[in-house]
């Protein structure tokens, strides 16, 4: 009898795991490679809000299966050149995006202005597209990243025209570094968001209208 109960519980747990979005559609990149540097800022206080972001219980990179496969191809190509990726963010729960929106509307909170938006008024973050009520990250096929050790001319999540991929405010070498990352990502099926040199989305993303909200854990 005890054996039957145990088997029933095991099968039930297995069935529940199979129905969760991360099990059914997502790959945990942290478990598939040790060659990528995972610098998941939103699970820490090292971000433009200055506190851990809602929905991030662990510093993990979760991506839809085809996005994960494409990203690992990029990493393999870079490794041939003695290089590797540094990843800042992958799948982002909708509750995290909601956290960003609440912060952006709180005009009294300027805690991280000096580090992340010294030249931009917080009142225009929505208008300029730095903050939005929806994010492609929540669809699971968008990633923020860089090539480790490369000077890209601005930090990750720096709210400033200087962060535009084709900004002319950066040096020739910094521009070339951005173009190298862009080339590598595009060759593997990703497209860049012009306002952020670090932001890429899989062109053939499997969920074009689905925004997930499961916790990163």
Report pLDDT digits (tens) over 100-154. Answer: 999 999 999 999 999 999 999 999 999 999 999 999 999 999 999 999 999 999 9
113 burial level (CB within 10 Å; 0-12, 13-18, 19+): middle
Structure-token pair, residue 61 = 């990179």
Confidence category of residue 22, pLDDT binned at 50, 70, 90? low
Q: Which residues form the catalytic set?
A: 196
Confidence category of residue 24, pLDDT binned at 50, 70, 90? confident
The pLDDT tens digits for 71-106 are 999 999 999 999 999 999 999 999 999 999 999 999
Q: Which residue has the tokens 């029933």?
A: 8
pLDDT at 168 over 90: yes
Q: Which residue has the tokens 């209208």?
A: 209
Using alpha carbons only, what angle is made at residue 198 by residues 23 and 21, rounded to the nearest 5 degrees?
10
SS3 content of the chain, % helix, strand, coil (to 5): 40, 15, 45
Bridge partners of 198, per DSSP, are none
- d(Cα 46, Cα 104) in Å, to the nearest integer? 17
Strand segments, DSSP code E, in 93-174 are 142-147
DSSP at 52: P
Percent of the chain topping pLDDT 90: 89
What does residue 198 show for φ and ψ, rounded to 5 degrees?
-90, -5
Q: Using an 8 Å Cβ cutoff, are 88 and 197 in contact?
A: no
Q: Which of 16, 17, 13, 12 is nearest to 28 (CA)?
A: 17
According to CATH, what is the number of the domain 25-202? 3.30.1380.10
């Amino acid at each position: 009898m005890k054996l039957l109960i145990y088997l029933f519980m095991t099968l039930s747990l297995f069935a529940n795991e199979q129905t969760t979005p991360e099990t059914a559609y997502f790959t945990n990149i942290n478990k598939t490679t040790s060659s990528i540097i995972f610098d998941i800022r939103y699970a820490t206080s090292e971000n433009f809000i200055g506190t851990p972001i809602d929905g991030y219980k662990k510093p993990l990179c979760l991506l839809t299966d085809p996005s994960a496969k494409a990203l690992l191809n990029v990493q393999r190509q870079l490794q041939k050149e003695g290089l590797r990726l540094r990843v800042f963010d992958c799948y982002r729960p909708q509750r995290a995006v909601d956290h960003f929106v609440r912060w952006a509307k709180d005009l009294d909170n300027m805690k991280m202005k000096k580090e992340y938006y010294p030249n931009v008024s917080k009142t225009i973050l929505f208008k300029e597209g730095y903050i939005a009520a929806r994010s492609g990250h929540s669809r699971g096929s968008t990633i923020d990243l860089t090539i480790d050790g490369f000077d890209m001319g601005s930090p990750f999540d720096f709210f400033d025209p200087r962060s535009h991929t084709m900004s002319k405010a950066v040096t020739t070498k910094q521009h070339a570094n951005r173009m190298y990352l862009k080339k590598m990502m595009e060759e593997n099926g990703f497209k860049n968001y012009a306002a952020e040199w670090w932001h890429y989305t899989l062109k053939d993303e499997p969920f074009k209208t689905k925004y997930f909200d499961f916790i990163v854990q």
